[in-house]
Structure 1
Amino acid sequence: MGKKFHAVMFPWFAFGHMTPYLHLANKLAENGHRVTFLLPKKAQKQLEHQNMFPDSIVFHPLTIPHVDGLPAGAETASDIPISLGKFLTAAMDLTRDQVEAAVRDLRPDLIFFDYAYWVAEMAKEHRVKSVMYFVISANSIAHEHVPGGKLGVPPPGYPSSKVLYREHDAHALLSYSIYYERMYHRITTGLMNCDFISIRTCKEVEGKFCDYIESQYQRKVFLTGPMLPDPDNSKELEDRWSHWLSRFETGSVIYCALGSQIYLEKNQFQELCLGMELTGLPFLVAVKPPKGVETIQEALPEGFEERVKNRGVVWGEWVQQPLILAHPSVGCFVNHCGFGSMWESLVSDCQIVLLPYLCDQVLNTRLMTEELEVSVEVQREETGWFAKESLSVAITSVMDKDSEVGNRVRRNHAKKKEILVSPGLLTGYTDKFVETLQNLANDPNLE
């Protein structure tokens, strides 16, 4: 093995991006490499507890410049609704001088980035190799971010024969169109100018999409595996949830979470709650308070708390999701199919019900539901949202022991999980990736 390298990491200012970047940083540090992690000042406190190697991973806080339209104090995507994302990307671009100063002073061997497309050009000026590291699915990149791509239309040669978008995905496409216009140029430019492409996935789930990206950009795509954090056996589930969940039978509880970026309308939130109630099963819903209210309690449907008080909880704060999913009483995971939740679903024993909200989540959902056939998707109304009855039907279809659909997805999920958790598979991806990076960093002639 060659000398140890120093990498700079500069992910998009969203916890769904910064967190997996930090998981990768931990893997690099575990192998003796150094990482300087560029991030907004406010994000540092929220991520510090996940830095397993503080001597080797140094947080370098950035000052987020003022941008008209960006609320005061907003520094990450979780501070703002999705519609204001363009102001946050503008603020990220304005940190270029700070990023360049850090690269000039540190003289790293590698720099990792995703949305800041200008990093590749800057890296060349400073003779640093650039790695565009994606924490979104290869499926999404292959569909939306290849040369000549068009929103909602599969590109030529797209490696899927399944239906991607349906009539009632209009809400997701509409919410995504602003993002797409902003990001298509960024991502394709970054892909064309970076030295190396890497994706947080594995070929057992997305191999054909990775091959397609390689063919479109004519360069090797390196895979890290899903880069899930190692289980922390020193941490236990909070007593509050451990005691509550233990009251119920094995595999009987529904757990629902929709990620940190989704703010539901009040009527959507209430439909979600009522759909859970309709199942007749115990449930734990962990979502942010809906738009226009400060607390979960003031948004709940009338009489709801009293009706479900012995079997249902709606929680508006952070929870220990991996530990909840691992609890024997939890038997169903209802989620938005963000890429992190998708992987957590696949390696869990829970039945999977999907409720995509954004466009890339729709693509992930179709991969899970129609290609891998390990989950069911909640049917949508013409409004783009769903009725409480549809949510209840989807959950019941996988929780009913005699359900044909439930048995089919359970079998397929069990087979896929067995492959993914087989000894050495996922760690093998990570080890090979770290070794590849070491070769890239140390070989001046390696393209």
Structure 2
Amino acid sequence: MYPLFAFGHIIPFIHLANKLAEKGHRVTFLLPKKAKKQLEPLNLSPDRIVFDPLTLPPVDGLPDGAETTADIKTPTGNVISDAMDLLRGDIEAKVRSLKPDLIFFDFTDWVPEMARELGVKSVSYQIVSAACLAMALAPGAELESPTPSDYPSSKVALRGYDANIYSKTINSHKTFLRRINTGLKNCDVISVRTCAEVEGKYCSFVERKCQRKVYLTGPMFPEPQEKSAKQLEDQWYQWLDRFERGSVVFCTFGTQFYFDKEQFQELCLGMEQTGLPFLVAVKPPKGSSTIQEALPEGFEERVRGRGVVWGEWVDQPLILSHQSVGCFVNHCGSGSLWESLFSDCQIVFIPQAADCVLTTRLLSDELQVSVTVQREDSGSFSKESLRDAVKSVMDKDSEIGNLVKRNHKTLKETLVSPGLLSGYADKFVEALENEVNNTKSS
């Protein structure tokens, strides 16, 4: 396995590796050297899953010692992917030595070519939404032409004005879309971390465009028993326990996003203006070494006792499962998307990249299980727009709040129905086994 060196990509790959190991298969997992120790607790079968650490070579824009997207505060282009490309010789040597049946990848689009030369099947395992993959395969992905007539939705697409609103991410995302497109069209097996109940028509579109079967893994969450031993830290359990059921707003933006100071302050002030208790867990904004130095003047005193802004890691799934948390504000990254859907919280999105924009439109505009914070033409959001979005879903008499709550509840009931998630994972592993066996028999 050779996923993009970003925790939001590595962790779903580890969950998949655990499932393969559970079925008796062996996995060599290539990952950043410094991240190995941090990720080892997620490896449930160390006798079958071997973590093989790599050190990224230097490239322009990559800070000294940086190994994942979380290490880059002001990313330039796709420096992590560029550095990963330079490891091709090392990867080839490992594949020649190991002689695996399959090699999994997502953004390193040269893997299919390398795998073919070495007699190995390549699996494009995409943790981004199927809606994002569909856009990668459609001309409209470049924001310069309309989507094809058979594209599944007019609501879930990149539009011309997105180039202005998301100008900081759209150009680098075009490169990611091209990488995904190349990998999808050249690999032997296409697999997506999603399920037909959420993205069936987008999966069908990908199948038509690539002219091959798309295998779905489901959300590929850890099984409930794997999480049962974990407990929320006392610090957060005791703090959350002080508030009424469903009253707390929890806000987080993943491991690789940094706000500008001005937007960070708007976020804080918007949370304050909701009048609700809140926990915000984000990295210190650009130009600040700590959260405290970037907070609005007088903010801590005004929200003391009901609001916390935290600059370090928190256990997102465990916080979401606490009965006091009633609203989840996030960027609609892949992990947060599924954690949102499996929670009982109202969902508010502030997408920060083009793939997140597509997924947000899927959930807010098409499935209507969430709301999206409105942005100005400059791409920024205001404290008022954040406040209004949160209050629209948290006010008990809100029409939109009750609508998304009903729709979310219905979708969640489908997703947690007995056997659905395990069925996806089991069928996926079986499909891979058939791919390998067919190759060997031929």
Structure 1 counterpart of 2:18: 26
Q: CA deviation at 1:443?
A: 1.4
Structure 2 gap ranges (5+): none
Matches within 5 A, 1:33-432: 33-81=25-73, 83-146=75-138, 149-151=141-143, 153-156=145-148, 157-162=150-155, 164-165=157-158, 169-231=162-224, 232-432=227-427
TM-score (norm 1): 0.95
Q: 1:154 to 1:421 in 2, by over 3 A?
A: farther
Q: Return the letter of the residue paired with 1:177.
A: I
Structure 2 counterpart of 1:5: none
Contact 2:3 2:105 in 1 (8 A): yes
Q: CA deviation at 1:166?
A: 6.0
Contact 2:139 2:146 in 1 (8 A): no
Q: CA deviation at 1:182?
A: 2.4
**In angstroms, what is the RMSD of aligned CA positions?**
1.7
Secondary structure in 1 aligned to 2:200?
A: helix
Residue-by-residue CA offset, 1:10-63 (whole Å, 9 max, x unaligned): 001111111100000001001111000011211212211111111100011112
Structure 1 counterpart of 2:436: 441
Q: CA deviation at 1:183?
A: 2.5
Answer with 346-355 or 41-50: which moved more: 41-50
Residue-by-residue CA offset, 1:119-165 (whole Å, 9 max, x unaligned): 10111111111101100000011012347842375520210032645
Answer with 85-94 or 117-126: which moved more: 85-94
Q: Return the letter of the residue paired with 2:85.
A: D
Instruction: Provide the rounded CA distance (Å) in 2 between the counterparts of 1:242 and 1:382.
Output: 40
Q: CA deviation at 1:173?
A: 3.5
Aligned residues: 439
Secondary structure in 1 aligned to 2:279?
A: strand
Secondary structure in 2 aligned to 1:91?
A: helix
Residue-by-residue CA offset, 1:154-193 (whole Å, 9 max, x unaligned): 5202100326456764455422332134223322221121
Answer with 316-325 or 147-156: which moved more: 147-156
Q: Return the letter of the residue paired with 1:230.
A: E
Structure 2 counterpart of 1:4: none
TM-score (norm 2): 0.96
Secondary structure in 1 aligned to 2:35?
A: helix
Secondary structure in 2 aligned to 1:368?
A: helix
Instruction: Provide the rounded CA distance (Å) in 1 between the counterparts of 2:341 and 2:65.
Output: 36
Instruction: Provide the rounded CA distance (Å) in 2 between the counterparts of 1:412 and 1:64.
Output: 44
Secondary structure in 2 aligned to 1:123?
A: helix
Contact 1:147 1:216 in 2 (8 A): no
Secondary structure in 1 aligned to 2:259?
A: coil
Q: Return the letter of the residue paired with 1:266.
A: K
Matches within 5 A, 1:7-18: 9-18=1-10
Instruction: Provide the rounded CA distance (Å) in 1 between the counterparts of 2:166 and 2:116.
Output: 35
Secondary structure in 1 aligned to 2:312?
A: coil
Contact 1:62 1:98 in 2 (8 A): no
Percentage of identical aligned residues: 64
Q: 1:423 to 1:154 in 2, by over 3 A?
A: farther
Contact 1:346 1:417 in 2 (8 A): yes
Q: CA deviation at 1:71?
A: 1.0
Instruction: Provide the rounded CA distance (Å) in 1 between the counterparts of 2:177 and 2:376.
Output: 29
Secondary structure in 2 aligned to 1:285?
A: strand
